[in-house]
Amino acid sequence: MSKSSSDSKDFLRTIVEQDLKSSKYAEVVTRFPPEPNGFPHIGHAKSICINFGIADDYAGHCNLRMDDTNPTTEDTKYVEALKDAIEWLGFEWEGNVRFTSDYFPKIYDYAVELIKMGKAYVDSTDEEEMRELRGTVKEAGRRSKYAERSIEENLDLFEKMKNGEFKDGEHVLRAKIDMTAANMKMRDPLLYRIRHAHHFRAGDAWCIYPMYDFAHGLSDYIEGVSHSICTLEFENNRDIYNWVLDTLGLTLPRPYQHEFARLGINYTVMSKRKLLELVDGGQVSGWDDPRLPTIAGYKRRGYTPESILSFCDGIGIAKANSMVDVAQLEFSIRDDLNTKVPRVMCVLDPLKVTIGNYEGSEELDASYYPDDVPKEGSRILPFSKEIYIERDDFMENPPKDYFRLTPKQAVRLKHAYIITFKEVIKDADGKIVEIKAVYHPESKSGLDTSGIKVKSAIQWVEAKTAKRVEVRLYDRLFKEEAPEGVEDINPDSLKVIKNALIEPAVITDKPDVRFQFERQGYFYADPIDYTDEKPVFNKIVGLKDSWNKKEKKKAKESTSKSQEKKVQIDGEVVPMSEVQQKLYDKYTTELGLNSEVANTLARDETLSNFYYESLNLSEPSPNPVGLANMVSNEVARELKEKSLDALKFNPIQIGALTKMVENEIISSKIAKQVFEEMVKTGENPTQIVEDKGLVQISDPSKIAPIIDEVMEKNPDNVAKFRAGNTKLLGFFVGQVLKATGGKANPKVVNTLVNEKLK
């Protein structure tokens, strides 16, 4: 499926692959879990592609689940829109559509279980007080007095909540976690709230509803989901996700949550709120307005599902917040349609041309597809002395790189004859109303013997047979790259042309619903407003237009962008405490450490203790500088993740490791390898070196032949190096090291390679 030529995988697929390989899960199960409270947009499409795509790639399956835990915002019409979107994109969900509301009984039972474990309580403080007690990001919160309620009381209250004995907001069920947690989400999060509201599916069966954080993980678990993929803003929620499952003792195979960056596209908005604003405010015609980034909008505009899929495939998946250029989307649809749709001729802004020397009429046979599109099909093109061409395709005083019709320049009528200008006719205001021209009979398309060279072939329609059509030209909805709201709307995002002229075959033969109007762009017969009497076409996307681009560039040539470099400001460093300063001084003066290493060590008590022990207990004692480097780099890394007593190696072993490097028994590269082994097993470095035979090779006579071999295998790079590409030195050293399993002394290799390549 994934046709991307590189073997690089996104980070999610990497995780899935590892989990499958380690048999963490027998099968990958994902889910697409929207809340049915709005129309899906292209951001959802990305999520759909990820969840269904991963399931497909690894022979698993993907569920569609409506996360319907909030009865006041959700509706079944959104459920239908969501289902439509997925089907349109060509994916199939496993089994029936799932609903979180189907799991309400189970989720309720889990809540009761938590209460029985003393891990949840009914809180009766009002909203305002609760907010106050929660604290702020910089201050710890305090627990409500109701947290002291007995299990029995909680059980009783919770049941009464369920039975509808309380009003909205009177009580909530909360998890008992930690009101002082640095992660705000963990300060006794709400599990259930009372809501006497009609649920679009569950009806009035419930008056308490579980919160997202409680319902989501459990629903995933109930469905046997393995990888719960969501967007970045839920990173903080991952702790609760895990807390719920862990606390309830729900073990593997249980789902784990992974987050990716949501999609942003420039010149549009993606948030439900802003989209709703546009629809409600009448800025657009509805959820399916072709200018909207909704799936319904793209569908109405004429985008193909394939193009959306290839777009999603092209943008990749990562964790960096990003804003994709619309040009990327436009490329996807052009690229898709180019090989698919028939080319026809349509004139948007007609200018009459009368061909003085042509009499009668004829029918030309014209292929729908250019030579480079391997498709068959043609239509009849009527021709006579009266035709229309695009107003843009004639210029009285053209710039010198203008290729179209001018008083001095002939032009070909696509699929027909070459014409030459005779006369221009203007009205009282000086506006051109007609061109008089002559044609060259021997220049007929395909049978041209005229020998006339023209620079371009333009589209045209025959006056009597052309059909009048409405064409809707869409441009970006916003004029700002990162629009805030309605104030940034592009006033010219929709241009309606009522009287465009199109060749008759398009209307009578209907060879397709999507067309390329030659030299203009891709268009789509509007699925709703189109009738045979009044055909309507939507512009999907324009063709790339290097002429137009050139003109525009000329127009704003002096718009010089001041490419200012970002100036980095160095912030203030926290000053050292007295003890740290003393340590620092000792390190730099007595032991001769450089300031950076001394700084790292002095500021970290655990690290400096480790260093101290290693320096004093190791026998024979290693060079303090080398040891400090080892500790402040390698050991520091391990200590970032683990606590001191979780480390498998001890200071004395590190001393021994350093000593080996000092004595040149092993290279520093090998030392890293040995260190890694020590991290895993806690074995002595000398033992590891002995077991694996890692003693370094420094004998030039042993290394030289390997270098020769490498040079022989890479003649290109040898040449490049000799031509001055000195950074290839690293390449050669790397290759030699690889050949020796890393054992060659890199210093020796370096000098040898340098000599040989000179």
Scan residues 655-714 and list those touching RNA (CB under 7 A): 667-669, 672, 714
Query: Measured from the CB atom, is 97 or 636 closer to RNA?
Result: 636
CB neighbours of residue 292 within 10 Å: 26
* Binders in 385-444 for RNA, by CB under 7 A: 401-404, 412, 414-415, 444
Give the CA distances from residue 167 to residues 153, 162, 163, 389, 675, in Å, rounded to whole numbers and listed in that order: 18, 11, 11, 72, 63
User: Binding residue for RNA (CB under 7 A) from 343, 440, 472, 476?
Assistant: 343
Angstrom distance (rounded) from CA 226 to CA 19: 9
Residue span 565-594 as binding mask against RNA, x where in contact by CB under 7 A, dash where not: -x-xxxxxxx-------------------x
Query: Measured from the CB atom, is 494 or 636 closer to RNA?
Result: 636
Is residue 373 a contact residue for RNA (CB under 7 A)?
yes
Is residue 143 a contact residue for RNA (CB under 7 A)?
no
For residue 430 the two structure tokens come to 């000086």
Query: Measured from the CB atom, is 253 or 734 closer to RNA?
Result: 734
User: Binding residue for RNA (CB under 7 A) from 636, 652, 665, 704?
Assistant: 636
Angstrom distance (rounded) from CA 175 to CA 246: 13
Smallest distance, Å, CB 609 to RNA? 15
Q: Say whether 300 is catalytic.
A: no
* Binders in 258-287 for RNA, by CB under 7 A: 261
Which one of the listed residues 160, 262, 391, 414 is annotated catalytic?
262
User: Binding residue for RNA (CB under 7 A) from 1, 23, 59, 137?
Assistant: 137
* Binders in 297-336 for RNA, by CB under 7 A: 314-325, 327-328, 330-331, 334-335
Is residue 209 a contact residue for RNA (CB under 7 A)?
yes
Smallest distance, Å, CB 327 to RNA? 4
SS3 letters across 357-413:
CCCCEEEEEEECCCCCCCCCCEEEEEEECEEEEEHHHECCCCCCCCCCEECCECEEE
Query: Strand, helix or coil at 454?
Result: coil
* Binders in 508-537 for RNA, by CB under 7 A: 516, 518-519
User: Binding residue for RNA (CB under 7 A) from 88, 146, 547, 612?
Assistant: 547
User: Binding residue for RNA (CB under 7 A) from 20, 97, 112, 181?
Assistant: 181
Angstrom distance (rounded) from CA 197 to CA 83: 25
Query: Measured from the CB atom, is 232 or 496 closer to RNA?
Result: 232
Q: Say whether 272 is catalytic.
A: yes
Query: Strand, helix or coil at 666?
Result: coil
Q: Provide φ and ψ at 631, rounded to 5°.
A: -65, -45
Query: Measured from the CB atom, is 498 or 565 closer to RNA?
Result: 565
Q: Long-range contacts for 614-621 (Cβ within 8 Å, ≥24 apart)? A: 614/651, 614/652, 614/654, 614/655, 614/658, 615/655, 617/651, 617/652, 617/655, 618/651, 618/652, 618/654, 618/655, 618/656, 618/658, 618/659, 619/652, 619/655, 620/659, 621/655
Query: Measured from the CB atom, is 284 or 685 closer to RNA?
Result: 685
Which one of the listed residues 9, 17, 24, 35 is annotated catalytic?
35
Query: Measured from the CB atom, is 375 or 510 closer to RNA?
Result: 375
Smallest distance, Å, CB 45 to RNA? 14
Query: Measured from the CB atom, is 597 or 647 closer to RNA?
Result: 597
Strands laid side by side in the 208-210 sheet: 120-123, 172-175, 190-194, 208-210
Which one of the listed residues 24, 83, 134, 272 is annotated catalytic?
272
First to last CA, the chain: 48
For residue 220 the two structure tokens come to 């995933």
H-helix or E-strand containing 719? helix 715-722
How many residues comprise the chain?
Answer: 758
Q: Say whether 554 is catalytic.
A: no
* Binders in 9-38 for RNA, by CB under 7 A: 9-11, 14, 35
Please report, as a single letter, which amino acid is at residue 393. Answer: D
* Binders in 437-496 for RNA, by CB under 7 A: 444-446, 448, 456-458
CA atoms within 13 A on the CB side of 189: 21
Residues whose CB is less than 8 angstroms from the CB of residue 715 and which lie 6 or more positions away in sequence, other chains included: none
Name the residues annotated as catalytic: 35, 262, 272
